[in-house]
Amino acid sequence: MRRQMWADLALLAVVTVWGMTFVMVKEAVTSFPVFAFLAARFSVAAVALLPIAWREALGCRFDRRLLWQGALMGVALFAGYGLQTMGLRYTTPAKAGFITGISVVLVPLGSAWFLRRPPSHAATVGVFLATVGLALLSLNEDLAVGLGDLLVLGCAVSFAVQIILTAAFAPGQPAVRLAMVQIATVALLSGVTSLLWEFPLPAINGQVIFAVVFTGVLATSFAFATQTVAQRFTSPTHTALIFSLEPVFAAAFSYLLIGERLTGRALLGCAFILFGMLTAELGDLAWRSIGGKYQPARRRREPIS
């Protein structure tokens, strides 16, 4: 019981860090190009994770399958972070946090499509609740969606694809090396994109440097190591509940750090999205606990947020 408590607290610390990154990234990319920021962030993350990956790789043969699987997952991750970071230029951190959370709801739908079987009842209800929440949160008086919200929704789709690929590839591969290939892929693609579109770069300031180090070390490398260890000592239900708090922390830090206030309708939309996430994540666990037959594969969130 004590181990589980400490594991839950460790996961809560990870989610708190993830929630802080929305405000931090938004502030950083107002004065620095998006893909240059991502290249720096994931390069720092790769360097921080390198000692662990190197130790794991000692004595192992070169694995081409790990390389292409990790690279494919990295492409999805690059698309997700590129869209999310661009979207943060045009929307608020709180809204971005909740819209990003829709990826949790999209995963069972994507898995059902790839596996050629219908989604569970809980996933269907979760999608409905999240869709209602997205409409309340994002649609304006003219029933139009803002550019930032649309970009972050694309990010949620990309993250859902990455989670599905992780479920398909991760069981047969060493976790640290697979994460290292993903991180390196994001750094490489971001660097190439920045070279093509964003040069010459403006002068980097202290705020951007702090954001790069914080997101690269704490939100990526620290999160990976902590989640890998902590999830051995806690349950999938606890993990899902704790991870669902990420958008809540994003909204809280957005209010505390930059004074963002959501309207009543937006708050209602956030609540619908949160309930949709919880329904999609926990509904099937509840169904199994009372004797239901549907047993979906558990989804492991890749700890790179």
If we measure between CA atoms, which residue out of 75, 148, 76 comes closest to residue 110?
A: 76
Q: How far apart are CA 144 and CA 138, in angstroms?
A: 8
Least confident of 71-85, 222-236, 285-299: 285-299
Given a cut of 60, is residue 300 above it in pLDDT? no
d(CA 175, CA 187): 18
> In 34-174, which residue ranges form alpha helices assigned H by DSSP?
34-57, 64-87, 93-100, 102-115, 121-138, 147-169
Percent of the chain scoring above 70 in pLDDT:
86
Does residue 204 have a pLDDT over 50?
Answer: yes
Closest by Cα among 144, 169, 157, 153 to 70: 169
CA distance 22 to 254: 8
Structure token digits, residue 278: 């919880």
| 155 close to 101: Cβ distance less than 8 angstroms | no
Give the whole-angstrom CA distance, residue 46 versus residue 216. Answer: 8
Helix (H, G, I), strand (E, B) or coil at 295: coil
Chain segment 79-116, per-residue pLDDT in tens: 999 999 999 999 888 888 888 888 877 887 787 777 66
Evaluate the omega torsion of the peptide bond into residue 200 and state whether it is cis, within 30 degrees of 0: yes
Q: The whole model's pTM is what?
A: 0.83
Cα–Cα distance between 220 and 47 in angstroms, integer? 11
DSSP 260: -
Percent of the chain scoring above 90 in pLDDT: 30
Question: Which tokens belong to 69?
Answer: 């699987």
> What does DSSP assign to residue 117?
S
Closest CA to 284 of 120, 101, 102: 120
